[in-house]
Amino acid sequence: MTDPAPSTFSSPEAIKRLKRRRAADVRFRYYGMGAIVLALGALVMLALSIGSQAVSAATYHVARYDVTLDRAVIAPPGEDTPEEISRNVDGFWSLVRNNLLETFPEADLDRASRTEASEFITRLAVLPAARKVAAEPQLIGNEMTVSAPLNDDLDLYLKGQAFPERRVRVGSLSSASQQEAGLARLEGQGAFTPILSAITSLEADGADLSEGSVLLTAGSSTGRLSDLQPDAASLELLTGTLDDFRSGNATARIIALPEAQRVVSDQQIAWTLALKEMGRISREPRWSLLTNSDSTYPELAGGLAALVGSLFTMLVTALVAIPIGILAAVYLEEFAPKNRLTDFIEVNINNLAAVPSIVFGLLGAAVYLNFLGMPRSAPLVGGLVLALMTFPVVIIASRAALKAVPPSVRSGALAIGASQMQTVFHHVVPLAAPGIFTGAILGMARALGETAPLLLIGMVAFVGDVPKGPTDESTVMPVLIFTWSNNAERAWEPMTSAMIVILLAVLLLMNGLVVFLRRKYERRW
C-alpha cells in the first residue's frame, strides 16, 4: 500500500495477478468459440441429415406408356362428358396396364403376373392424363404418351434405397442354351467366379444368402440364376430373350433379402430394369411435391394443400395477432397508467408467452369448436388458436421496440403541441416499426412451425383437396410432416425430409424478410 507507484507495475504479485487475468481472458474466448462451434455443428448435422434424405425425394422415376386413346375404354357412350372423362381413372389405367402387358407378354400369362404388373402404376397416377384428355377431347382416338410416376417401392429400388444389393460383372458367356421348361443353361470359362466370390465375401460379412436371389441382366433381359458353378449356371428367364445373354455383357445382382420379405419381387425388378433399358423410365424433378395434394400413395403425394392451408392459417393469425398485439403494446407502453393493475397485466402477458402451445390447442378446441361451434379442421380456427399463441410474443417484442425509442423524440413532439396520440403515431411508432415487425414476423414464423395445438382442433385430418378459403377443411405443413412421418411405407421417409426442407425454406424466407426490413427501415436518431 505504501509502496511507490512504479514498483506495483513490476512487483511479482502484480505480474502474477496480471497473468491470471490474461489467462481468464483467453479461457473465456475459448469458451465462446466452443459454444459457437457446438451450435454450428448442430446446424450442420441437422442440414446434412435432413438434406441427404430430402435429396432423394427431390427426384422420382417416371415411366412412359404409349397408348392409343380408345374411345370405348375412356369415353364409352353415356360417360363421355369432359367431367366423366376426367374422372375415368379406371379406363385410363387399364390402357396403361394393357400397354405394359403388351410390352411384357409373359406378364399376361397368369393372374399372379398380371397383379404384379398392375402394381407398377397407382391408379390415381393417370389422373393428370385423364384431365388432359378431358380438356382436349380431340385427342381421343389418337396415340398419346402417358407419363406416370413409378410405384414408390420400385422408385426406391431404382434409387438403391429399398434393400442392399451387390452388383458384379460376370465374365463372357460362351453358350446359352434352352433346357426344359423355362430354364436355360449358361456356360462360360470362369464366367460366374465373380458372383461366387462376391457371395463368399457377403457370407463372410454375416449375410444369409440361402433364400436370396441372384439376378442376371443383359440388355433388357433379366433372369434368375440358380445352380451356380464357376463355369456354368441355370437361368430362369424372367423377361426378354436368351439372345441378349449370348451377345452382351451381363451384370449380376445379388440380393440377400428373401423375395417373400421384399415389397419388390424379382419379376418386378426384371420388368423395371427392362423398361429402364428401353429408355421408358427417367428420373425427373419431383415438382409434384409442390403441385400435388396429400395422397395415400407416396409417389403421388405433395404438399400443396398443406402449403395453402398454412397460408390461410397464417393470414388469419396475422390479421388477428398483429393488430391486437401492436395496439395492446402501444397502449400499455404509451398510454396506460403504471399501477398494480398494469403490472399484473404485464406479468400475465409474459406468462401467456410461456404457456405450452398444446394448452392453446385445448383452449381452442373447447372455446372455438365446442362453445362457438366453428368448423373443425379449418384454417380459421387454427389461425385463431395460433393468434392466441402469437400475440403475447408480438406484444413483448413491440413493447421492447417502443421502449427503445428515445424519450427525447416524445418530448420533442409533445413540446411543439402534438397530442399524445399524434406523438405516438407520428413519431414513436414509425421509429419502433422495424422492431415491431421483426417481433411480429418472428412470432408468425414460430406459429408457422407449430403442430401440437393444431392436432387438437382436427387439422390432422387427411385433406386431399386444396382449401379454397379459411373455412375449408385443411391441414398445415408441420402437421403434414407429422402425418407423413407416421406412415409405414419406406418411401415416406425421404418425402418427410423433403417437406421439412420446404417448411424450413419458408421459414428462412420469413427470417430473411425480417433482416431485409431491419436493414431497410433501421434509422439512427
Partner 1 sequence: MDTDHTPQAAGTVTPPTADALPAAAPRIDCRDINVFYGPTQAIHNVSLSFPDRAVTALIGPSGCGKSTFLRCLNRMNDTIESCRVDGQILMDGQNINDHSIDAVLLRSRVGMVFQKPNPFPKSIFDNIAYGPRIHGLASSREDLDAIVEKSLRRAGLWEEVKDRLQAPGTSLSGGQQQRLCIARAIAVRPEVILMDEPCSALDPVATARIEELIDELRKRYCIVIVTHSMQQAARVSQRTAFFHLGNLIEMGETEQIFTNPREKRTEDYITGRFG
- Which residues in this chain contact partner 1 in the complex, by CB under 8 A? 337-338, 406, 408-419, 422, 426-427, 431, 523-525
Which CB sits closer to partner 1, 133 or 431?
431
Asked whether 107 and 101 are in contact (CB, 8 A), the reply is yes
Helical packing angle, 379-403 and 340-354, nearest 10°: 130
Indicate the SS3 state at residue 23.
helix
Asked whether 305 and 293 are in contact (CB, 8 A), the reply is yes
Q: How far is the CB of 525 from partner 1 (least distance, A)?
A: 5
Which CB sits closer to partner 1, 301 or 431?
431
Q: How far is the CB of 414 from partner 1 (least distance, A)?
A: 6
Which CB sits closer to partner 1, 152 or 334?
334
Sign of CA dihedral 230, 236, 240, 241: positive
Residue 214 DSSP label: E
C-alpha cell at 413: 413532439
Q: How far is the CB of 417 from partner 1 (least distance, A)?
A: 4
Q: How far is the CB of 340 from partner 1 (least distance, A)?
A: 14
Which CB sits closer to partner 1, 261 or 408?
408
Which CB sits closer to partner 1, 5 or 416?
416
Q: Provide Rg for the chain, Cα atoms.
A: 34
Q: How far is the CB of 431 from partner 1 (least distance, A)?
A: 6
Q: How far is the CB of 419 from partner 1 (least distance, A)?
A: 5
Residue 234 has φ and ψ, to the nearest 5°, of: -95, 145
Helix (H) or strand (E) holding 221: strand 221-226
Q: How far is the CB of 410 from partner 1 (least distance, A)?
A: 8
Q: How far is the CB of 433 from partner 1 (least distance, A)?
A: 11
Q: Which among 298, 268, 222, 297 has a CA at the least distance from the CA of 100? A: 268
Which CB sits closer to partner 1, 37 or 341?
341
Q: How far is the CB of 337 from partner 1 (least distance, A)?
A: 6
Which residues touch 222 (CB under 8 Å, ≥6 apart)?
A: 215, 216, 237, 238, 239, 240, 269, 270, 273, 274
3-state helix, strand, coil in the chain (%, to 5): 60, 10, 30
C-alpha cell at 180: 426344359
Q: How far is the CB of 521 from partner 1 (least distance, A)?
A: 11
Q: How far is the CB of 401 from partner 1 (least distance, A)?
A: 14
Asked whether 442 and 514 are in contact (CB, 8 A), the reply is yes
If you search the block for the grid coordinates 502474477, which residue do you land on?
Answer: 16
Please count the other Cβ atoms lying within 10 Å of the Cβ belonging to residue 109: 11
Helix (H) or strand (E) holding 234: strand 232-239
Q: Count Cβ neighbours within 10 Å for each residue of 350-386 and write b for 16 or more, e otherwise.
A: eebbeeebeebbebbbeebbeeeebbebbbbbbbbbb
- By the 10 Å C-beta count (0-12 exposed, 13-18 middle, 19+ buried), 32 is classed as exposed
Q: Which among 387, 365, 390 has a CA at the least distance from the CA of 376? A: 365
